[in-house]
Chains A and B, each alone.
Chain A
């Protein structure tokens, strides 16, 4: 895949230009969202601290650059959510290095695990980022008139992308208590729909969550895992996977296998970055992706 095709596929933004997810799920370009009184948060993903290969020999550097860019935003987000694969191999030193960078964020932090963070055991992740209010990893909260669900679909080691009955029961009960008009935002590491099952880019039992989300007026589901931006819409549910801060991966089916994708050095920063999301009640969420270069 040449550079042009890759950039076209991921629908990546040039720096300084935001792409807005319209009601139909299509991207349109426009100036970056102006500061306003609306609610906003930032999503980062797949920092893979500890990775050191030709695809990115300085993942700590690109991660730091991402945090610095977020800290430089004129209006600080309500929070920053990291949607998983904080580390590459779940080593204590990798968690420590990531925490040192994340500790410099001005905004509050929420961290979800990816499958790389729970290799062997989820204990290292819980030690680093565990929450007292979420002993099992998943939780929900309300902020800015929005209901947020933080889900974990990487705890079943034999199936990449599974929530499990206990978590599904929690989701159904949690959502049953919400008003239809309340904007819902869902975070999880692996995409909740069948984005590309041959590479494991799906959640086996995600359909139960999607069924529980269908009655709401506006739902935004944000994931990581695949290291590229893919937008998808199913009725009132809009999905968007995020770019990584570490390295890109091939487009679904565009290579024989997934994994780190080597791009030209002067392109790397253009395909890494973070996402800002702005929500005004009664309107579609404004999802804007920002590259590092």
Chain B
């Protein structure tokens, strides 16, 4: 039984690894708990720079009327289009300092620091 549960858990983790982010732009009710919310408002990401720990889920909320994207400069994550009023979530799986921008308005630039261990200062 335990073995089965462990296998199921491992499978779930594997699936989670394959789907590192949840697309929830069309259904705010599906949002999962997140440790940080970054607002996209008046063509700016806030807060920036932001700090999270590996494994943390971050919610991006587009408060503008205009569509935006959350796109890593190294392309390690990309929300694609988030319509005005939409949201997008991402779990940061690797530590590092990530520069990101909005593909539709590339002058919108921001940074998120992913620290290696949980419980890091935010």
Binds B, one of A30-38, A102-110, A251-259: A251-259
Q: Is the CB of B104 within 8 A of A119?
A: yes
Q: Within the complex, what minimum Cβ distance (angstroms) separates A223 from chain B?
A: 16
Q: Within the complex, what minimum Cβ distance (angstroms) separates B74 from chain A?
A: 11
List B43-93 residues whose CB lies under 8 Å from chain A. 43, 64-67, 69, 71, 73, 78, 80-81, 83-85
What CA separation (Å) do A88 and B85 show in the bound complex?
14
What CA separation (Å) do A259 and B104 show in the bound complex?
11
What CA separation (Å) do A116 and B104 show in the bound complex?
7
List A239-282 residues whose CB lies under 8 Å from chain B. 256-260
Q: Is the CB of B103 within 8 A of A115?
A: yes
Q: Is the CB of A119 within 8 A of B69?
A: yes
Q: Is the CB of A116 within 8 A of B106?
A: no
Q: Within the complex, what minimum Cβ distance (angstroms) separates A255 from chain B?
A: 10
Q: Is the CB of B65 within 8 A of A157?
A: no
Q: Is the CB of B84 within 8 A of A53?
A: yes
Q: Is the CB of B80 within 8 A of A257?
A: no
B43 partner residues in chain A, CB cutoff 8 A: 257-258
B42 partner residues in chain A, CB cutoff 8 A: 256-257
A18 near B: Cβ within 8 Å?
Answer: no
B80 partner residues in chain A, CB cutoff 8 A: 89-90, 119-120
Given A158-B73, A257-B42, A55 and B105 touching (CB < 8 A)? Answer: no
List A149-173 residues whose CB lies under 8 Å from chain B. 157-160
For the residues of B in contact with A, the DSSP-based class is loop
B71 partner residues in chain A, CB cutoff 8 A: 157
A51 partner residues in chain B, CB cutoff 8 A: 83
What CA separation (Å) do A257 and B44 show in the bound complex?
10
Q: Which of A50, A88, A119, A260 sits near B103, CB closer than 8 Å? A: A119
Q: Is the CB of A160 within 8 A of B105?
A: yes
Chain A residues bordering chain B, tally (CB within 8 A): 22
Q: Is the CB of B66 within 8 A of A259?
A: yes
1/0 contact string of A36-64 vs chain B (CB within 8 Å): 00000000000000110101000000000
What CA separation (Å) do A53 and B62 show in the bound complex?
14
Shortest Cβ distance from B84 into A: residue = A53
A200 near B: Cβ within 8 Å?
Answer: yes
Shortest Cβ distance from B44 into A: residue = A257
Q: Which of B66, B67, B81, B106 sits near A157, CB closer than 8 Å? A: B106
Shortest Cβ distance from B104 into A: residue = A115
Shortest Cβ distance from A258 into B: residue = B66
Residue among A50, A119, A256, A258 with the highest chain B CB neighbour number at 10 A: A119
What CA separation (Å) do A158 and B107 show in the bound complex?
8
Q: Within the complex, what minimum Cβ distance (angstroms) separates A262 from chain B?
A: 8
Shortest Cβ distance from B73 into A: residue = A158
B66 partner residues in chain A, CB cutoff 8 A: 257-260
What CA separation (Å) do A256 and B106 show in the bound complex?
17
Q: Which of A55, A88, A120 sits near B67, CB closer than 8 Å? A: A88
A53 partner residues in chain B, CB cutoff 8 A: 65, 83-85
A200 partner residues in chain B, CB cutoff 8 A: 105-107
A50 partner residues in chain B, CB cutoff 8 A: 83
Apart from A88-B81, A256-B42, A257-B42: 5 A-B pairs, beta carbons within 8 A = A120-B69, A120-B78, A160-B106, A257-B64, A258-B66
Which B residues lie at the A interface, using CB under 8 A? Answer: 42-43, 64-67, 69, 71, 73, 78, 80-81, 83-85, 101, 103-107
Which A residues lie at the B interface, using CB under 8 A? Answer: 50-51, 53, 55, 88-91, 115-116, 119-120, 157-160, 200, 256-260
